[in-house]
Amino acid sequence: MPNQSLDKFIFRKFILEPFSHASLLPGGELDWPKRANIIEGIAQGLLYLHRYSRVRVIHRDLKASNILLDGEWNPKISDFGLARIFTWNDAPANTKHIVGTGYISPEYAMKGHFSVKSDVFSYGILVLEILSGKRNTSTPDLDEALNLSGHAWKLWRSDSVVELMDPVLAGTCSAVEFSRCVHVALLCVQENPADRPTMLDVVSMLNNESTTLSAPNRPAYLLERFVMREDGQRVERRVNSSTNEITYSEMGAR
């Protein structure tokens, strides 16, 4: 594809000095109209796979590096190596446990259960990355060791979600439109698959401002699961959450 994969544009790093123009920043070529088009295009692509294709396709590996951009910056979902094809009467399936990539839903990662709602979860993570310019699994500058979805959730609850915005988009993106996209993404990354919208719902929410959005439940993952302490010990963080606070405790080394 002429513009390669999406991750090359939203995550890449540049040496900024002596320049500071936005086009040299990570994601600088992706202004808000392009990003909004990419978010919508990926949603439409998944909707086709889940609903309008001759057979139902669950991609199972949706991530920024698997989204190719054509010469008009339209997204194309690629790499169907892990995809599963179902007839319309097939129920959700099981597989072996897999190594998480940051886009994988909890029921898939921990129990091997996958369905169209697994793709919806991955889509929500991907949208948060497009909006923020940050990787879900690599967020050293975010407070409290929250991962991207946890950080977005915290900002949404404090009515300050625009702070998630990629600095490249500052002054060019409607706060209302941006906040709605974050809201939709948070609905997609809810822990219970039944609470997540279908891709048909997602397309409707993105295109119809009159559609009322329900309040999202907390994301499936709030914190990076494993972190390194200063002494080099690898520890697991366990999440304890309530309506008013998010805390964590360090578990034993592994």
CB atoms within 10 A of CB 246: 17
CB 196 within 8 A of CB 167: no
Q: Which residues are catalytic?
A: 61
User: Six-digit token pair at 245?
Assistant: 């606070």
Count Cβ neighbours within 10 Å for each residue of 78-110 and write b for 16 or more, e otherwise: eeeeeebebeeeeeeeeeeeeeeebbbbbbbbe
Strand-pair partners of 93: 114
DSSP-based three-state secondary structure for 121:
helix
Give dist(CA 178, CA 185) in Å, integer: 11
